[in-house]
């Protein structure tokens, strides 16, 4: 026995930046962004800290599960854009929600939420926890060079959270890392070592076409592998939750998988790529829209810097 998802929550920053608004300070067009990515707008943190967002998502998930801060045995946060390098994001959220259990971060870029679920799986399997809060929260806007049109148009900010409890919901989960730093990275911030020039500015750098090639393969292989590992066929899957990086990557997966396109859940037009937060936000939105029914089989897949990828099949256990 491992875990089931008991509840979900999400939070988005108030500020919405549309493609049209972006065009006022970046050399791009709404037509280019929509046709190459499917993105129409993104939310960005102008007033909120990432801790504010993550704590709001966490509180919503905890209220929906009827779980208090004192009931939590572990808090895991997936993020690459924390408010602090140290303490961990999980630590700042723990303080914000008044919990006292162990709390630490998982850094695995866009598939970070699924990597964190894998860590949680180990805690449940060892009988070390009854309630785990998993949060994925990203302020990608902080990592962007807003003069670089090849990256800044792609990402958005947001947070999603789930409360997990012991159960049979997890059917398969697989995580992968292929050490390839040069295609997508953000250099670390540097101190001012005496006598040395200041280090490089810290912005996301990406070879979009290389990531694209990796993504289309990772998406289809990951989904097929996790469906097979769960002892299922593609026809059994009720909903696919793909990483929301580019509509063309999702459409490629739709064309290759034997799963009807209408079973792919998509919110990229409104939210862009919120990195690790994409899948838990999509889960919470889909739950709120009444799409997910108890017993539904959900296939999830994400890819990102590392290069990392991860996929899972989870049975929805919420009424
Ligand atoms: O979570 C993982 C994160 N990353 C990804 O998943 C990214 C995967 N890659 C992609 O989604 C796509 O490769 C991009 C959307 C990043 C780029 O699309 P593309 O079709 O691969 O475009 P490209 O890089 O081949 O660029 C085509 C042209 C270039 O101009 P020239 O050299 O043909 O004159 C770019 O300079 O489009 C230009 N361009 C833009 N033009 C207007 C690049 N960005 C923009 C822009 N607005 N924002």
pLDDT tens for the 319 residues of the chain, in order:
699 999 999 999 999 999 999 999 999 999 999 999 999 999 999 999 999 999 999 999 999 999 999 999 999 999 999 999 999 999 999 999 999 999 999 999 999 999 999 999 999 999 999 999 999 999 999 999 999 999 999 999 999 999 999 999 999 999 999 999 999 999 987 777 888 777 667 899 999 999 999 999 999 999 999 999 999 999 999 999 999 999 999 999 999 999 999 999 999 999 999 999 999 999 999 999 999 999 999 999 999 999 999 999 999 999 8
What is the spatial distance between Cα 250 and Cα 254, in angstroms, rounded to a whole number?
6
**CA 150–ligand 1 middle distance (angstroms):** 5
| Contact (Cβ atoms closer than 8 angstroms) between residue 82 and residue 142 | no
**CA 159–ligand 1 middle distance (angstroms):** 26
Nearest CA to ligand 1 atom 39: 150
Nearest CA to ligand 1 atom 36: 150
Q: Would you state the pLDDT for residue 192?
A: 78
Q: Which of 28, 145, 208, 253 to mutate to test the pocket of ligand 1 (most atoms within 8 A of CB)?
A: 208
Q: Would you state the pLDDT for residue 197?
A: 74
Nearest in space to 198 (alpha carbons), one of 207, 208, 206, 188: 188
Nearest CA to ligand 1 atom 47: 28
Q: Which residue has the tokens 């690459």?
A: 80
Render pLDDT for 151-191 as a digit per residue (tens, 0 to 9). 999 999 999 999 999 999 999 999 999 999 999 999 987 77
Verify whether ligand 1 is closer than 6 Å to residue 286 (CB atom): no
Q: Would you state the pLDDT for residue 193?
A: 80
**CA 180–ligand 1 middle distance (angstroms):** 20
| Contact (Cβ atoms closer than 8 angstroms) between residue 238 and residue 263 | yes
Instruction: Kindly report the length of the chain.
Output: 319
Q: Would you state the pLDDT for residue 1?
A: 63
Count CA within 13 A, CB hemisphere, residue 65: 28
Verify whether ligand 1 is closer than 6 Å to residue 146 (CB atom): no
**CA 36–ligand 1 middle distance (angstroms):** 7
How confident is the prediction for the chain on average, in pLDDT?
96
Helix H or strand E segment including 27: none
Q: Which of 17, 30, 136, 209 to mutate to test the pocket of ligand 1 (most atoms within 8 A of CB)?
A: 209
Q: Looking at ligand 1, which atom is closest to the CA of residue 243?
A: 1
Q: Would you state the pLDDT for residue 181?
A: 95
Residues recognised as catalytic: 110, 243, 273
Verify whether ligand 1 is closer than 6 Å to residue 304 (CB atom): yes
What is the spatial distance between Cα 205 and Cα 20, in angstroms, rounded to a whole number?
23
Query: Long-range contacts of range 179-183, CB-CB < 8 Å, 24 or more positions apart?
Result: 179/306, 180/306, 180/307, 182/207, 183/207, 183/210, 183/211, 183/214, 183/305, 183/307
Crossing angle (nearest 10°) for helices 89-97 and 50-65: 60
**CA 205–ligand 1 middle distance (angstroms):** 12
Verify whether ligand 1 is closer than 6 Å to residue 166 (CB atom): no
Nearest in space to 244 (alpha carbons), one of 276, 214, 203, 220: 276
Verify whether ligand 1 is closer than 6 Å to residue 61 (CB atom): no
Name the strands in the sheet holding 74-78, side by side, starting at the edge strand that comes first in the sequence: 2-11, 157-167, 132-139, 74-78, 103-106
Q: How far is CA 173 from the centre of its chain?
A: 15
């Amino acid at each position: 026995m491992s875990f089931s998802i008991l509840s979900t929550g999400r939070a988005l920053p108030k500020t919405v930046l549309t493609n049209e608004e972006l065009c006022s300070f970046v050399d791009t067009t709404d037509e280019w962004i929509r046709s190459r990515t499917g993105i129409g707008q993104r939310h960005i943190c102008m007033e909120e800290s990432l801790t504010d967002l993550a704590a709001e998502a966490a509180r919503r998930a905890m209220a929906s599960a009827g779980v208090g801060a004192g009931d939590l045995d572990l808090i895991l946060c997936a993020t690459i854009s924390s408010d602090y390098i140290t303490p961990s994001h999980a630590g700042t959220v723990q303080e914000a929600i008044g919990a006292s259990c162990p709390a630490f971060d998982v850094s695995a870029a866009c598939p970070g939420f699924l990597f964190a679920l894998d860590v949680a799986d180990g805690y449940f399997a060892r009988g070390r926890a009854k309630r785990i809060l998993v949060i994925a929260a990203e302020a990608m806007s902080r990592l962007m060079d807003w003069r670089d049109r090849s990256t800044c148009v792609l990402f958005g900010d947001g947070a999603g959270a789930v409360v997990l409890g012991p159960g049979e919901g997890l059917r398969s989960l697989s995580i992968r890392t292929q050490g390839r730093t040069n295609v997508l990275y953000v250099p670390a911030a540097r101190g001012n070592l005496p006598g040395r020039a200041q280090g490089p500015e810290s912005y996301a750098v990406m070879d979009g076409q290389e990531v694209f090639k990796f993504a289309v393969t990772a998406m289809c292989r990951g989904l097929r592998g996790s469906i097979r590992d769960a002892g299922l066929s593609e026809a059994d899957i009720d909903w696919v939750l793909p990483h929301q990086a580019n509509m063309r990557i999702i459409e490629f997966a739709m064309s290759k998988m034997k799963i009807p396109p209408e079973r792919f859940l998509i919110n990229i037009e409104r939210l862009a790529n919120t990195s690790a937060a994409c899948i838990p936000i999509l889960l919470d939105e889909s739950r709120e829209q009444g799409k997910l029914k108890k017993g539904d089989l959900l296939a999830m897949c994400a890819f990102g810097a590392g290069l990392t990828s991860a996929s899972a099949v989870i049975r929805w256990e919420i009424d």
